[in-house]
Structure 1
Amino acid sequence: MTEYGRGQGSEPWHPEDPLYGDGGWRGQQAHEGQQSPYDGQSQHYPEQPQHPQYGDWGDGRQAAYGQAQQQYPGQGQQQYSGQGQQSYDPHQQYDTGGWATGTHPQVPYTPDPADPYAQQAAPYGAQQPDFYGTPDAYPPPEPPARRRAEPEPRIDWDPGPDQGEHAFFAGGDDDDDGDEPGDRRGRGDRRGRGGKSKKSRSGCACLVVVLVFGGGLAGVSYFGYQYYQDRFGAAPDYAGDGTDEQVTVEIPKGASGAEIGRRLKDAGVIKSVDAFVAAQSQNPDGEPIQAGAYLLNKQMSAASAVEMMLDPKSQNNVVVPPGQRNVWVYERVDEKLGLESGTTKDVAEKRYKSLGLPSWANNNGDIKDPLEGFLYPGTYPAAKGMKPEAVLKEMVTRANEQYSQYDLDAKAKALDLENPLQVITLASLVQAEGKTADDFRKMAEVVYNRLKPTNTETNQLLQFDSTFNYLKGQSKIDISESEINSNPDPYNTYTNKGLPPGPIGNPGDEALKAALNPTEDGWMYFVATDGMNKTEFAKTIEEHQRLVDKFNASRDD
C-alpha cells in the first residue's frame, strides 16, 4: 500500500492547523518521507470501522494533493450525510477503476506550544464519539479548555415564572402545539398545586400591553388637543360680567394690550391674556384704554372687561385737567381714596420735600403751595388703599419728566427770566388767561411785553384777574377796582409788578410750549369779549378800549 503520509495519533485541533488553513499543502510537506512506527500498517482503531476517503481530483492516487484524513479529539470516523454507513475489511482492496482505496494515516502537524493539550495524544484504541451528522460536525469542536459549556437540555414542561420564563412568551393556551397528550395531566396537576396557566399569564401580559398602548394613545391625544387649542382654538375665557368681588388694577402709561391683559389675569379679572387682546381688537372703541386704576369684577369675560374699562365709572383715577389748581386736585384724591376732606392737602403741606421736586422749585418764601405747577395734567391711579403721597409723587414725577425735555435754565435766560420756576409761572398765567391753543402764544407775548422795563402802558404791571382769583381761591370775572387795589398780596398783579411768586395752576404742554415760543406781533392787551371763550387782542390802549366796550355791550344783551 502506497502511503504519502502517516498519522502520529490524534492531535488536538488548533485554529492554526495547516490542514485546515491551506488545503493540505503544508501537511503533505510535513509528512513526506516519514516512516510509520507500525511497520507500514495504517493507523486505525479496531473498535470503529474505517470509511473510504475521497480525495480531490488528481493523478489517480488517493489524496492527490496530500490531503490526509484528520482526526480530532473525541471525534470518530467521518459519516457523510445522505449516504449509508459503510463497513469493510480494512485490508481488503476494491476495484475502483484506478482509484486507490484503503485507510489513510493522519497527517501530523506541529503542535501549538501555547496549547496545554497539544503534546498529548489520544489513548490508543480509545472510544471516540462520532460527531458527523450532528450540529457539532462543522466546524470541528474546540479543545476542552476552550470548549463552551454544553447548552442546557430543552425541557418539554413549563418551568413557570420562577424559573426565568417570561409570562408573555409562555404560550397561548392549554392547546399549545408543543404539549404532548401525556403532558396535559401533568400540567393540570401543576395548576392544581397553585401554579398559573399560560393562558392566564398571557391574558395579564396582554392587559399590560393594552394599558401601556392605551395610556400612550391617551397622552398623544391630550397633547395633540392642547396643541390644536393653542394654535387654532379659542383662547380660554370666562363668561358673563364676573362675580361680586371687585379688585383695583393699575394700568401704567403706554401699556400695550398684552401688558394690560397680563395685569388683569394676575388680578383674577380675566382667564387669559389672548382672550383680552382679541376682545380689545374686536371692540371698535377698545384701543384707547388710558392709564390709570380700574375697579373691575373678578372672573369677567374678556369682552366685559374691555367694556367696563371704557366706562368712566369703573376708572379709579384722578384726572388732572390742564390749568387746574392744586386745591382742586387734593379734593379729587380724597374722594377717590375715600379719605376725609383735607387729608391730601395736609400731606402736601407737610411732606412736599419728599415728593421729588426739582432743586429750583420753591425758591420764593411767598409761595403759597410748593407743589403748585408740579401736579402735571394727566390721569393717575387713585384707588382705595393707596396713600395720598403715592398719588402726589406720581404727579410730581410726571412733571419732572416733561420739564426735563426742555433746557429751562437756558430758556429762562434767553427770555429775560430769572429762573426755570418763572418759566413755569408764566406758562400757568398763559394757561389761565388763554381760552384756546391759538390764544396761548399771543397771551405769552402780552406777558413778556408787560414785563419789559420799557413798558410805559402798564408800567410792568400784569393786571391779571387770574392771579387775584388764585390768592382768593375763587374764579370771578367781575372784580371791583376797590377790592383789587386794596389788596397788597404778592399774588395781586394789580398792586405788584412782575410775575407772582409762583405758578397759579398746573400748565399743560401747549401752554408751556407757548411760553417758550411767544409771538412777536406787539400784542399788549386782551379782553374776553364774550365773557367766556372768545379772547381778542390789541396793541394800543385805544384798541383795548374798543374791546372793553364790546364786552360791556355783550353783557347788556
Structure 2
Amino acid sequence: MADDMQEFFQDKVQWVADGQAPVSAMPPRPPRSRREMRRRRERRKHRKQIMTIIIALAVVLATSCVVILVGGLRHGAPRIVATKEVAPDYPGPGGQPLEFTVESGQGADQVGANLVKAGVVKSTAAFLQAISSAQSESRLLPGTFDLRLRMKASDVVAILTDRSKAGGFLQVRAGERVRDVVARAAQLSGVPQSEFDALIQAKGEDILPQEAQGNFEGWLQPGEYDVRKAGSAKAILGNLVSKRIEHLDQLGVPGGQERQTILNTASITEAEVNKSEYYSKVARVIENRLAKGMPLGMDSTVAYSNNVSALKLTDAMLKNANDPYNTRVHQGLPPGPIGSPGDEAIQAVMHPESGDWLYFVTVNMDTGETRFSDNPDQFNRDVKEYKAWESQHNEQGK
C-alpha cells in the first residue's frame, strides 16, 4: 500500500518555482482503495495508448498529403485527377487524293502544321500524338507522299514513316560515283539523262568551283534531295555541289587545290575501308606511300576507271598502263576523286592516325578484318591468308 500511495503522489505532485504559488492549494484527494488506484492507472495507460495511435495516424496522413502535393507539383497535377486530352482528329480513311512533300530537315511540328494547312489532318496535336504512339524506330522521312484529305492522323504517320512510299527524293550515299547518282536523279526527276550528260561534258560550267577542274566526281554532297520539283539537271547538280561546298566549309577543309587533293585522297580512303575503325589508318598508309614515292597500288582506283567492283577486276585491267587511274602502275594520286567521300573519310585524311604502315590487306571479307604492316614479308603473308579465304569462299559458292 505504501508503494502504491507513493506512486500516486509522484504522479500528482506539482512542482513550482521559488516565489510562485502552487496551482492548487488543496492536495489531491487520495484514492479510497487499491482497486481504485489500479483503475486509475489503467485509464492513464489507455489514454496514453490512444494518444500514441492518434499521433501515428496524424503523421501518416500528413506524409501522404505531402507526397500527393509534391507529385502534383512535379507532374502538373495529382495523379488522381490527371486526364489525357484527346486531340481533334478525323475518323478517316480520307477523301480526295493529293500529293504532300516532307522536306529534308523539317521537324514534326512543322510537318504537322503543313498537314493541317493542306487539309490532311484535323490538328497538329493529333499528328504529334500519333507520332508519340508509333514505334520508337519510326521517323518521318523526306519525300513526296500520296495522301488524302481528312485522314486519321495515325494513318498519315504510317505512310510518312514508310520509305517504300516516299517518292521524288534522291539519296546520295558516301562513296557513290557520279554516273550512278546521275542515273537515279534522271529517273526520279523525269529530267532527261541527256541534259545531265551535257552538263558533265561541259565540265560543270557555272556550277563547279575552279579547283574541281571540271570534274563532278567527289563534289556531290551525300544526303537526301527533292529532285522532282527541281525542273532541270542544272538545278539538281547545282544544289548538290553547293551543299558540298557549304559542308566542306563547315568541316574546316582548306580551300583551293588543297581541297581537291583532300577529296581525292578521301575518295580512295572511302572506297578501301570496310569499318569505321580503319579510316585513319588507311589514310596514313596513303600518305606514307606518297611520301616515299611508292605507287599507291589501290585496286579501287582501277575499278573506278573500268566501272566495275573491285571483286571483278581482271589481270589485264590491273596491268593496263594506259589507264591514268591505275595506281598500281602510276605513282601519285589519280587524276581526280573516284567517288563522293563521307565525313569520316574526309576527317581521316585531315587527321590520319600516327603509324609507319605501308601495306594493308583485308584478310576476311566476311568479318572485314584488315591487317596493317610496314613489312613486305608480313604483307605477303597477309595476302596469302586472304587468298586462302577467297579460295575457300569460292569453293563454298559452287
* Structure 1 residue 273 displacement after superposition: 2.3
What's the counterpart of residue 376 of structure 2?
Answer: 541
Distance 1:351 1:273 in 2: 47
- Of residues 235, 238, 251, the one that matches 1:390 is 235
The alignment's C-alpha RMSD in Å is 2.6
CA, structure 1 residues 507+385, in 2 after alignment: closer, same or farther (shift >3 Å)? closer
What's the counterpart of residue 127 of structure 1?
Answer: none
1:120-519, aligned counterparts within 5 Å? 234-243=86-95, 245-253=97-105, 255-285=106-136, 288-290=139-141, 292-299=142-149, 300-316=151-167, 317-341=169-193, 343-350=195-202, 352-355=204-207, 357-362=208-213, 370-383=215-228, 386-409=231-254, 419-452=258-291, 455=292, 459-477=293-311, 479-519=313-353
Describe the superposition over 1:20-66 as per-residue Cα deviations: whole angstroms up to 9, x where unpaired: xxxxxxxxxxxxxxxxxxxxxxxxxxxxxxxxxxxxxxxxxxxxxxx
Describe the superposition over 1:134-165 as per-residue Cα deviations: whole angstroms up to 9, x where unpaired: xxxxxxxxxxxxxxxxxxxxxxxxxxxxxxxx
Query: Larger deviation: 528-537 or 346-355?
Result: 346-355
Query: For structure 2, which runs of at least 5 residues remain unmatched after alignment?
Result: 1-83, 393-398
CA, structure 1 residues 495+477, in 2 after alignment: closer, same or farther (shift >3 Å)? same
Larger radius of gyration: 1
Aligned residue for 1:247, secondary structure, equals strand
Residue type at the aligned position of 1:483: M
Distance 2:132 2:279 in 1: 38
Aligned residue for 1:352, secondary structure, equals coil
CA, structure 1 residues 391+239, in 2 after alignment: closer, same or farther (shift >3 Å)? farther
Distance 1:324 1:334 in 2: 16
Question: Are positions 1:553 and 2:365 aligned together?
Answer: no
* Structure 1 residue 381 displacement after superposition: 1.7
Q: Is the 8 A contact 1:280 1:306 kept in 2?
A: yes
Residue type at the aligned position of 1:240: G
Distance 2:138 2:375 in 1: 50
Distance 1:246 1:483 in 2: 52
What's the counterpart of residue 59 of structure 2?
Answer: none
Q: Is the 8 A contact 1:493 1:499 kept in 2?
A: yes
* Structure 1 residue 244 displacement after superposition: 5.7
The size of the alignment, in residue pairs, is 307
Q: Is the 8 A contact 1:269 1:298 kept in 2?
A: yes
Query: Larger deviation: 506-515 or 521-530?
Result: 521-530
Q: Is the 8 A contact 2:104 2:224 kept in 1?
A: no
* Structure 1 residue 524 displacement after superposition: 0.7
Residue type at the aligned position of 1:493: T
CA, structure 1 residues 318+467, in 2 after alignment: closer, same or farther (shift >3 Å)? same
CA, structure 1 residues 313+427, in 2 after alignment: closer, same or farther (shift >3 Å)? same
* Structure 1 residue 397 displacement after superposition: 2.5
Residue type at the aligned position of 1:361: A
CA, structure 1 residues 337+239, in 2 after alignment: closer, same or farther (shift >3 Å)? farther
Aligned residue for 2:345, secondary structure, equals helix
Query: Larger deviation: 443-452 or 391-400?
Result: 391-400
* Structure 1 residue 484 displacement after superposition: 2.4
Structure with greater contact order relative to length (CA < 8 Å, sep ≥ 6) = 2
Please report the TM-score for the alignment, with normalisation by the length of structure 1: 0.51
Q: Is the 8 A contact 1:286 1:310 kept in 2?
A: no
Distance 1:243 1:340 in 2: 34
CA, structure 1 residues 332+242, in 2 after alignment: closer, same or farther (shift >3 Å)? farther
Larger helix proportion of the pair:
2
Residue type at the aligned position of 2:351: N
Q: Is the 8 A contact 2:298 2:327 kept in 1?
A: yes
Distance 1:404 1:464 in 2: 28
Residue type at the aligned position of 1:297: L
Residue type at the aligned position of 1:401: E
CA, structure 1 residues 272+348, in 2 after alignment: closer, same or farther (shift >3 Å)? farther
Aligned residue for 1:360, secondary structure, equals helix
Q: Is the 8 A contact 2:320 2:326 kept in 1?
A: no
Aligned residue for 2:205, secondary structure, equals helix
Aligned residue for 1:408, secondary structure, equals coil
* Structure 1 residue 303 displacement after superposition: 1.3
Aligned residue for 2:282, secondary structure, equals helix
Residue type at the aligned position of 2:300: S
Residue type at the aligned position of 1:387: S
Distance 1:389 1:271 in 2: 39
Aligned residue for 1:551, secondary structure, equals helix
